[in-house]
Structure 1
Amino acid sequence: MNERQRDYFRRKLIAWKDDILKESQETLVVLQSENENHPDLADRASFETDRSIELRARDRQRKLISKIDAALARLDDGTYGYCEETGEPISLKRLDARPIATLSVEAQERHERRERTYRET
């Protein structure tokens, strides 16, 4: 991977992280302002369900931020774009689609097959 490609992925990862952080701040503002009293049980249940879904989504995004940070660290140490399992380069198409990828397509498919096998037994 050349310097121009590394810069491209660094900008892409940082922009993605910034977007997630911005959405998280907006969610916090909304959740803090929606501290309303819902006298109707159905309204209250609906509100609690929506809030729970939003908090789960934010938790997934928090985990995604740590993966983005790890990808940025790999860019810094020169290991970004290489499969953790095989050491082979990960295709640029895959990295463009999933910039936090740590496995090549082939290694990811093997990993998913093993997961499915263990889940079925």
Structure 2
Amino acid sequence: MSIALGDDLDVLARAKRTLPADYTPSDSEEYMSERQQDYFRVLLIEWKRSILEAAEGTLQQLQDGPIRSPDLNDRASSETDWGIELRTRDRQRKLIGKINAALRRIDEGEYGWCEVTGDPIGLGRLTARPIATMSLEAQEAHERREKISRDD
């Protein structure tokens, strides 16, 4: 069973390992050139594929049936592990929607541009978080506003 916290990062890291080693987007080329868009398209598709494979494994484990242990502590531990696993899969299900939205933005020529300011999001941020829709500055401002409204 996977650990929820590191699972999303592990799946993204596995997807990155499937990319060709001969190309990494660079600031020296035109921003969101066709080659960069292809790179991120492949990354997003591989990320989605990895998530779906992990979900299949969880589904298979569920179909095989939970382990019923006569020991109450073992059973409670097993049920806790399943709860964490299912929450992780639910979070990843939502992530697939964001990946599909990013793929749509690539097709429409909007990928890589901040939805708030219209400025470039930046290659570093997109490499770390390929589904990002805001530049770092816009995201930080959004989080500050969210925190202030939550505190009120």
Give the helix-richer structure, 1 or 2: 1
- Class of the TM-score when normalised by the shorter of the 2 chains: over 0.9
| Residues 1:96 and 2:152 are matched in the alignment | no
Q: Which amino acid aligns with 2:138?
A: A
Deviation of the 1:36 alpha carbon:
2.9
2:84 to 53, 56, 61: 53
Q: Which amino acid aligns with 1:85?
A: V
Residue by residue over 1:28-78, the C-alpha shift from the partner in whole angstroms, topping out at 9 and shown as x without a partner, is 112222423222211111111111000000000000000000000000011
Partners of 1:52 and 1:69 lie apart in 2 by: 26
2:39 — aligned with what? 8
1:85 — aligned with what? 116
Query: Pairwise mapping of residues 9-88 of structure 1 onto structure 2 (< 5 A)?
Result: 9-88=40-119
TM-score, normalised via structure 1 length:
0.95
Q: How many residues align?
A: 121
SS of aligned partner of 2:59: helix
Q: Which amino acid aligns with 2:102?
A: A
1:113 — aligned with what? 144
Pick which of 47-56 and 23-32 moved more. 23-32
> Any gaps of 5 or more consecutive residues in structure 2?
1-31
> Any gaps of 5 or more consecutive residues in structure 1?
none
User: RMSD between aligned alpha carbons?
Assistant: 1.0
SS of aligned partner of 2:55: helix
CA contact (8 A) 1:31 1:51 kept: no
| Deviating 4+ runs (over 6 angstroms) | none
Identity of aligned residues (%): 63
Residue by residue over 1:60-114, the C-alpha shift from the partner in whole angstroms, topping out at 9 and shown as x without a partner, is 0000000000000000011111111111111111111111000000000001111
